Chain A
Amino acid sequence: MSDAHHDNHNPHLAHHFDTPQQQFDTAKMGMWVFLATEILMFGGLFCAYAIYRGNHPEVFEFAHQALDTKWGAINTVVLLLSSFTMAWGVRAAQLGQKSLLVILLALTLLGGVGFMVIKTIEYAGKWKHVSYDSPDAWYSLFIGERNAFYQKGGTLVNPEQAKAAKEYVGGHHGSDHDADHAEDQHTPDAPDTAVPTLVPVAAYAMPPAIDRATARPAPIGSLGTAPAYTGEYAAPVLERQLGIPENPGHSYPGFDELHAQDKSRVHIFFQIYFLMTGLHGIHVVIGMGLIFWIMVRAAFGAFGPSYYTPVDLVGLYWHLVDLIWIFLFPLLYLIH
């Protein structure tokens, strides 16, 4: 096969490139520039992580116990294995091993599925509803649902807190069923006088649940000394909600050992956790879509030694997703 044959007849060679090699190198450089922007996008979250961990190390040491190192390690291994099959797949494409390429891409895709299934299991355990009537409500600041804020009318609103604030002001007169649907607008049958305005963001450090759970007002300006924050049921609640052992042992602080202000800041860890792993999870899903796409094309014999650019570039993307997880795993799961 001569160069003249390439230049005149290669269906993949665009007219503005001299050679397939030049075209390939250009595509690869473009992919690397894109990957650099991806790293910088994640960099903002790593920066937030560094600042908050620097300012509240005890919060991170405490809250990371809610993450299961076993699942994190398994997911790391799953991603590494799928990275290996991806790299092997690029090799298979380069060598023209078409059926092996399809098999390896399928295995890589399976790795992505496994990763997302495990992540779903992990998320489900942390994103759950806790009734404000339950004694656990004190600790529901840690749970994902309570970390959800959206902007409405110039204030940041948590739907859970807006609902609870309405219940708090309205007492138990309204039915709970109505309250479930009242998070973002007034229900028609709710008395107007009893419906609070949206809770401003400054209120999130002291949700109405605190007052309801203790059945007495918290002391003004002394959130950290509110009596119900410590006590006999603190540890069992953490164990039930977060899977944190009652006596964590060794060097990790228990909830009672946290600085008074830090007790209301545990959600910071989970906000960073959900954002970092969530953005990473979106990338895994996108990568799975791309792998599926090139797997279908590979099944139709689109790739071979003379043209494998898409396989190589999707591989680079998949490896970057792996690369970012390599940093997320120790930073979130292995805090010491």
Chain B
Amino acid sequence: MTDTHAHTAYAAEHPHDTPHDKPHAVPLWLLAAVLLALLFLTFVTVAVTWVDLGPANIWVALAIAVVKAALVGAFFMHLYWDAPFNGFVLLASFAFLAVFIGLALIDSREYRSLENAPPPAVRPAAS
């Protein structure tokens, strides 16, 4: 029995827990608490737009979204109990996304002067 489960991170954390045919189930109260937290944060992220924080508004909104995503990932998606590698895969995708978007944004402001230049006058081409 232990041979079946000892190599999993979950089993390592819960050596006293049930064998595989009675898998770990997230307690219902925890799922409900996460749902309530997500609904509350949804309200907060809407309410933040009623307050003018200047440029900070977008960062507050993104921070709330990250917290909500972390709640979904950790509890709804079981990452809290999972093998750490799964969470690593998720974080790695975010890291590469940050590299991608960051590199793309490096020079994007260089084009503002071009973009605000008058456009060429183009008429519909008549044959």
Contact = CB atoms under 8 A, between A and B. Distances in A.
Chains A and B come from one and the same complex: yes
B20 interface: yes
B124 A208 contact: yes
Interface on chain A toward B: helix, strand, loop, or mixed SS? helix
Contacts of B20: 6, 19-21, 306
Nearest to A306: B21
Contact of A196 (B3, B86, B119, B125): B125
B43 to A, nearest CB: 8
Contacts of A308: 23
Contacts of A90: 25-26, 78
Interface of A: 1-3, 6, 19-22, 25, 28-29, 32-33, 35-37, 39-40, 43-44, 46-47, 50-51, 54-56, 69, 73, 76-77, 80-81, 83-84, 86-88, 90-91, 94-95, 161, 165, 168-169, 193, 195-200, 202-203, 205-206, 208, 218, 220-224, 250-251, 259, 261, 264, 305-306, 308, 312, 315-316, 319-320, 322-323, 326-327, 329-331, 334-336
Given A55-B111, A334-B46, A95 B25 contact: yes
Contacts of A193: 127
Contacts of A29: 83, 85-86, 89
Interface string B77-107: 1100011011001101110110011001100
Given A44-B100, A330-B45, A336-B49, 14 more contacts: A2-B1, A28-B86, A47-B101, A80-B39, A80-B42, A87-B34, A87-B76, A91-B26, A199-B125, A202-B120, A261-B116, A306-B20, A334-B45, A336-B58
Interface of B: 1, 3-5, 7-8, 11, 19-26, 28, 31-32, 34-35, 38-39, 42, 45-46, 48-49, 52-53, 57-58, 61-62, 64-65, 68-69, 72-73, 75-78, 82-83, 85-86, 89-90, 92-94, 96-97, 100-101, 104-105, 108-109, 111-112, 115-116, 118-127
B64 A206 contact: no
Contacts, number: 214
A174 to B, nearest CB: 14
Contacts of B58: 335-336
A229 to B, nearest CB: 13
A76 B42 contact: yes
A28 B83 CA distance: 10
B122 A202 contact: yes
A336 B52 contact: yes
A97 to B, nearest CB: 10
A261 B42 contact: no
Contacts of B86: 28-29, 32
A196 B126 CA distance: 4
A54 B126 contact: no
Contacts of B53: 336
Given A20-B20, A251-B52, A39 B122 contact: no
